[in-house]
Amino acid sequence: MIHKIWITLFLVGIAYSIVTGTVINVNQAVVAGARDAISLIITLAGVLTFWTGVLQVANKAGVLRGMEKALRPLIRLIYPKLGPGHPAIKYLTTNMVSNLFGLGNVATPTGIKAMKELQATSPDPSKPTFEMYTLLVMNTAGFTLIPTTIIGIRAGYQAANPADVLMPILFASGASVILGLAFHQIYSSLKGVTSSGKGPKLGRRQAIWRK
């Protein structure tokens, strides 16, 4: 489906600009788009490199395990099929926390790490698993505690109270996560999407620690 969307973007865009005689804009858009993509990837590469490095430090220092422990009930609710020893859980946790605090720079590397771990235990690595879709819905809903961008814009245009949209935003994004997950639950079960599985069994020492 993404293939069709991609082709449609070009087909519609080019055809429409030829019809309306704005074809010069297409020429500019090709150059500008390619340049934007490269400058985005330069930023993204820096951010990804730094944060995957820091995440590894956090992982080895036990910080991720601490967060994982604190948010276990929530993660278990959202990802019920993953075993407690699944290596993706600590990244799913950090991804959720960074989204809550609006840290997009941390959310992307943690989300990618989680995807990789979810793929590693998948029965068929060429297909997305149930948990990968769940992670996607969790991220596309953009649930965040402090939507800083929009509050900043509203403040810039002299809103009486720039943050008065906070409650409606929390309501709309929170409820859309729940509805999105519910839809995913039904739809993916109907389509027979497989789970990433329980993951490796816990060793005895870990099992004791996790109690």
Partner 1 sequence: MAQIGLYAVPVFLLSIFVMAFIKNTNAFDDFVEGAKEGLGTAASLLPNLVGMIVGVKVFLASGILDSISAMLDPLLSRINLHPQLLPLMILRPLSGSATVGYASELINIHGPDSLVGRLASVMQASSDTTIYIITVYFAAVGLKEMKHALKLGLITDLFAFGLAIVAVSLFF
State yes or no: residue 74 binds partner 1 (CB under 8 A).
no
Among 28-36, 69-77, 85-93, 201-209, which window interacts with partner 1 (CB under 8 A)? 28-36
Residues touching partner 1: how many (CB under 8 A)? 104
Q: Tell which one of 28, 73, 204, 205 touches partner 1 (CB under 8 A).
A: 28
Our CA dihedral for 103, 112, 180, 171, rounded to 10 degrees, sits at: -10
Q: Tell which one of 75, 137, 195, 199 touches partner 1 (CB under 8 A).
A: 137
Interaction residues for partner 1, span 106-135 (CB under 8 A): 106, 108-109, 111-112, 115-116, 119, 126-128, 132-133, 135
Contact pattern from residue 147 through residue 186 relative to partner 1, giving x for each residue in contact according to CB under 8 A and a dash for the rest = xxxxx-xx-xxxxx-xx-xxxxx-xxx-xxx-xx--xx--
Among 5-13, 70-78, 79-87, 201-209, which window interacts with partner 1 (CB under 8 A)? 5-13
201: left (phi over 0), alpha (psi -120 to 50) or beta: beta
What is the DSSP track for 20-73?
HT-HHHHHHHHHHHHHHHHHHHHHHHHHHHHHHHHHHHHHHTTHHHHHHHHTHH
State yes or no: residue 208 binds partner 1 (CB under 8 A).
no
Q: To which residue do tokens 């995957």 refer?
A: 52
State yes or no: residue 36 binds partner 1 (CB under 8 A).
yes
Distance (Å, rounded) from C-alpha 113 to C-alpha 32?
30
Distance (Å, rounded) from C-alpha 148 to C-alpha 41?
23
Which two three-digit tokens encode residue 25?
A: 């804009």
Q: Tell which one of 83, 84, 85, 103 touches partner 1 (CB under 8 A).
A: 103
Tell which residue, 60, 168, 146, has the closest CA to residue 99: 146
Among 22-30, 71-79, 83-91, 200-208, which window interacts with partner 1 (CB under 8 A)? 22-30
CB of residue 70 to partner 1, shortest distance in Å: 13
CB of residue 208 to partner 1, shortest distance in Å: 20
Distance (Å, rounded) from C-alpha 198 to C-alpha 192?
17
State yes or no: residue 59 binds partner 1 (CB under 8 A).
yes
